[in-house]
Amino acid sequence: MSIQDELVELRSATLQAISQAADSEGLEQVRIGVLGKNGQLTGYLRSMGSIPKEDRAEVGKTLNVIKQEVESALESRKATLAASELEAKMQAGAVDITLPGRAQQMGTRHLISGIIDEISEIFHGIGYTVESGTEVETDYYNFEALNTPADHPARGMQDTFYVIDRSGAESAVRGESDVLLRTQTSGVQAHVMENRKPPIYMIAPGKVYRRDVADPSHLPQFNQIEGLVVDEGITFADLKGTLDYVCKQIFGQDRETRFRPHYFPFTEPSAEVDVSCGICHGEGCRFCKGTGWVEVLGCGMVDPNVLAYAGIDAERYSGFAFGMGVERIACLKYNVPDLRMLLSGDMRFLRQF
Ligand code: DAH
């Protein structure tokens, strides 16, 4: 076979291999085989010297033409393969832009915080200050200063969690510590009276703790709003008028209130306040256990002993106090049947408020 014939064959074989290369990698192999350092065309180009003189010009020309043809075929096949490879890559990593997006989940203020703010606003509007106390309290402020000494039976209903000083004596066991998680916000009354002269018109919202198992009407941790008024000439009529006004602000103008005698160690006389049932409006239903009334808070005239503990002249000043459970008020206001639902973290429930 003449050299010219060999070249014709090499040309067609190479062009075919180029057109059949399945991917960039295969095409590169073809290029190396022909134009690489040890490629077939390179071999011919390198051996030009051994070609008979009379044929040299002709063979050289053919080689150059083939080289150019091969180079341009490689070039265009390369572009074609690159385009289809890019296409395949895009298909594989395709994003379905018609899928609906994932919306940002925006939180809302919790119902309990909402009620605390709302009630604080009501009292703020009638000139009360909003105080805060600490959740870790001493036995003195939680009980003693509120006319509830160690042997007082009212303590029985308010067992709590005692804070033990680990660095202290080994004998520091529950019952021997006098630092505790407060069972009521009432202790704030004593702190405020010690630090300020009357007139005092204040409320104090905050968390309280009890050694209770959670059930539909009890939680081991809940919120209260305490209230205290100390001024000259304060009477039970002031207490009634204020709390009737506040209950109507919270629950609606159509709600009635009634004051039922009760007992609290730190007030005398004491009462519990009921509002007419929001579901049956006093008729009697399952929600109000057939009575037509629901209990919302405790209150009374500040016991002179409590004023005396705080160094306030009980001859000159008198006052009233009250305390309400925030979770309970939330449930009454929105007809929630179980206190535990407030803590569930269930967005379907919480979003309603
Ligand atoms: N501290 C009471 C409780 O937790 C609630 C209470 C009742 C507070 C009467 C008061 C009050 O200030 O006068 O049950």
What residues pair up with 222 in beta bridges, in sequence order? 208
Q: What pLDDT, on the 0 to 100 scale, is given for residue 144? A: 93
Rounded average pLDDT over 129-134: 95
Phi and psi (nearest 5°) for 133? -120, -170
| Residue 153 DSSP symbol | G
For all residues of the chain together, what is the average pLDDT? Answer: 92
Nearest CA to ligand 1 atom 3: 184
Residue 302 CA: nearest ligand 1 atom is 13
> What share of the chain has pLDDT > 90, as a percent?
69
Q: What pLDDT, on the 0 to 100 scale, is given for residue 169? A: 53
* pLDDT of residue 195 exceeding 80: yes
pLDDT band at 170 (very low <50, low <70, confident <90, very high): very low
Q: 280-301: per-residue pLDDT in tens?
A: 888 988 888 899 999 999 999 9
Residue whose CB lies within 8 A of the most ligand 1 atoms, among 184, 207, 234, 320, for a mutation test: 184
CA of 304 to the centre of ligand 1 (A): 16
pLDDT band at 309 (very low <50, low <70, confident <90, very high): very high
Q: Is the CB of 184 within 6 Å of ligand 1?
A: yes
Phi and psi (nearest 5°) for 148? -125, 75
CA of 108 to the centre of ligand 1 (A): 30
- E-strand ranges in 22-174 read 129-130, 136-138
* pLDDT of residue 210 exceeding 90: yes
pLDDT band at 157 (very low <50, low <70, confident <90, very high): confident
Q: What pLDDT, on the 0 to 100 scale, is given for residue 48? A: 86
* pLDDT of residue 252 exceeding 80: yes
* pLDDT of residue 133 exceeding 80: yes
Half-sphere exposure of 343 (CA within 13 A, CB side): 16
Rounded average pLDDT over 9-25: 93
Contact 330, 219 (CB under 8 A): no
* pLDDT of residue 26 exceeding 80: yes
Q: Please name the helix (run of DSSP H) or strand (run of DSSP E) that holds residue 37, with its range, or none.
A: none
Q: Is the CB of 187 within 6 Å of ligand 1?
A: no
Rounded average pLDDT over 248-273: 97
Separation of alpha carbons 312 and 75, rounded Å: 101
Cis peptide before 269 (omega within 30 of 0): yes
pLDDT band at 168 (very low <50, low <70, confident <90, very high): low
